[in-house]
Amino acid sequence: MTPLASPTVSLSLSMMTFFSLFTWTAPSAFGEGGARRDVIRHAVVQTAEAAAPTSLSTRATILDQNGNVLRQGTNGWTCVSDNRDKGGQGPVCMNESWAEFANALKANRLPAGNQIGLAYMLRGGRSMNSPTPSAMEAPADHPSVTELGPHMMARLPNPTLLAGLPTSPEQGGPWVRWAGTPYAHIIIPIEGDPAR
């Protein structure tokens, strides 16, 4: 599996909002050296794993907020750590097709591939209420940034198949973000905590 092409990709799409990575610092109480590094690494892995059901996340490749591989996975999924309390978008786990989609979005190019892209954000995330992918950048306290609860996202190779589905979260249930664009994808709210 190929990890994300850009080490600075934070993959929230409530997502792309997925794309601003936070700078995470651990309490200095752990001191310097190996013990502190191990504690930080463990916390980052746990945060990343919390994004998806354990059946996926415990075997996924884990990336820290800078795109460094902390653990190589075996199932084709990648989980990225993030911390909304530090301005990030929330941790996310995605399959290879979603990672390609996210990288295309970040690079402002058309997504490639003919596979369904899937991503989990079971700890929720932030969403930029922008009508198009090109209008996504805003600080976390911007009035058009909305907190989304636990959800998963799906991208179909042919986004025209999503025509006619709701296009805002206010309508309740699954909805299409960026309908009518090559970046259209479904955001599916999830009640409760299916990860544990």
Query: 94 and 102 in contact (C-beta within 8 Å)?
Result: yes
What integer pLDDT is reported at residue 59 of this predicted model?
96
Residue 79, amino acid: C
Flag whether pLDDT at 186 surpasses 90. yes
Mean pLDDT along residues 43-54: 92
Split at pLDDT 50, 70, 90, the class of 112 is confident
Flag whether pLDDT at 146 surpasses 80. no
Query: 191 and 157 in contact (C-beta within 8 Å)?
Result: no
Mean pLDDT along residues 166-180: 89
Query: 18 and 6 in contact (C-beta within 8 Å)?
Result: no
Flag whether pLDDT at 50 surpasses 80. yes
Torsion sign, CA atoms 127, 130, 136, 142: negative
What integer pLDDT is reported at residue 196 of this predicted model?
44
Mean pLDDT along residues 34-55: 87
Split at pLDDT 50, 70, 90, the class of 113 is confident
Split at pLDDT 50, 70, 90, the class of 194 is low
What integer pLDDT is reported at residue 156 of this predicted model?
95
Split at pLDDT 50, 70, 90, the class of 129 is low
Please give the structure tokens belonging to residue 60.
């996924």
Please give the structure tokens belonging to residue 3.
């990890």
Split at pLDDT 50, 70, 90, the class of 91 is very high
Split at pLDDT 50, 70, 90, the class of 3 is very low
User: Which region, left, alpha or beta, applies to residue 182 given φ > 0 means left and ψ of -120 to 50 means alpha?
Assistant: alpha
What integer pLDDT is reported at residue 65 of this predicted model?
83
Share of the chain above pLDDT 90, in %: 38
Flag whether pLDDT at 107 surpasses 80. yes
